[in-house]
Structure 1
Amino acid sequence: MSFEEDDGQSGYVSELLEGGYLEGAEIGAAKAFLAGGDLSPPQQYVFDSFVLRKHEPGACKRCRNGIDWPEKYESKHNGGFCGYCANVIHKADRDD
C-alpha cells in the first residue's frame, strides 16, 4: 500500500515517527512500512503491537465513535476527541 493509496494510516505513522513517539524496533518497523516494502513477520508484529496498538487513541471521548486515521495524531493531543467533537468543544469554549 502506498502513501497515496491508504486511508491516512501512513500519515499517522509518519507523524508518530516525526513526533518522536517511536523508539528502537518501532522506528525500523515504521520506516519499513512507510517505504512500502513487505514487512518481515517480526517487523509486522512490532508494527501492529507497538506502533499501531500502543499509540491507538481509542474511540472519541465525547461521541464514542472511532477516530479516523487522519485525526488520530491530533486526538493524542486534544484529550482524545475526534475532529468534529474537538471543534464543537473548542467553539463552545470560545462562546463562554
Structure 2
Amino acid sequence: MGFNYSMEEDNDYNDFLQSLIDNGHLEGAAEGITKKVIVEGIDSLSSKQKWTFQKNVGEYITVECTRGGCDIPWSEMYEAYDNGGMCNWCAHMDTKDD
C-alpha cells in the first residue's frame, strides 16, 4: 500500500475515516478498529488489527489521481473513491470535457 498511515494526526485523515464509518463502508471489527484509530492513532493497534485496518480501509484510498497523476489529499480522498480515483479538480474538469 502506497500511503502513509502516520497521517492520523491530520484532521482530514480522521474526517476521511469517519466518512467511511458514517456512510456504512465499514462494519464489525473493521469499524471498531477504525474508530480506535481515530481516537488513539494507528500505533495503538496490534499487528492483527493493523492488518485488518489496512485490508478494509486501504481499498478506499486512492493515492494518485487517475487523470492528472497528482497526489490526492486526505480532504478529497472519500470523493476520489466515488469519482473514479480523480482529485476534485480533475473530476470537475472531466465533467467539463463532456
Q: TM-score range by the shorter chain?
A: 0.7 to 0.9
Which of 8, 29, 33 lines up with 1:29 in the alignment?
Answer: 33
For the residue of structure 1 that corresponds to 2:68, the secondary structure is coil
Q: How far off its partner does 1:7 sit?
A: 5.5
What is residue 86 of structure 2 aligned with on the other side? 81
What is residue 48 of structure 2 aligned with on the other side? 42
Q: Which has the higher helix share?
A: 2
* 2:11 counterpart of 1:10: no
In structure 1, C-alpha distance between the alignment counterparts of 2:71 and 2:27, rounded to whole Å? 26
Spell out, residue by residue over 1:48-80, the C-alpha distance to the aligned partner (whole angstroms, 9 max, x if none): 2322x2222342121122211111100111222
Residue 76 of structure 1 aligns with an amino acid whose one-letter code is Y
Identity fraction in percent: 34
CA RMSD of aligned residues (A): 2.2
Q: Which runs of 5+ in 1 are unaligned?
A: none
In structure 1, C-alpha distance between the alignment counterparts of 2:67 and 2:85, rounded to whole Å? 8
Aligned length: 90
TM-score normalised according to structure 1 size? 0.76
TM-score normalised according to structure 2 size? 0.75
Q: How far off its partner does 1:36 sit?
A: 2.2
For the residue of structure 2 that corresponds to 1:20, the secondary structure is coil
Residues 39 and 22 of structure 1, relative CA distance in 2, 3 Å threshold: same
Question: Which structure has the bigger radius of gyration?
Answer: 1
Which of 45, 65, 72 lines up with 2:70 in the alignment?
Answer: 65
Q: Which runs of 5+ in 2 are unaligned?
A: 1-5
Residue 57 of structure 1 aligns with an amino acid whose one-letter code is T
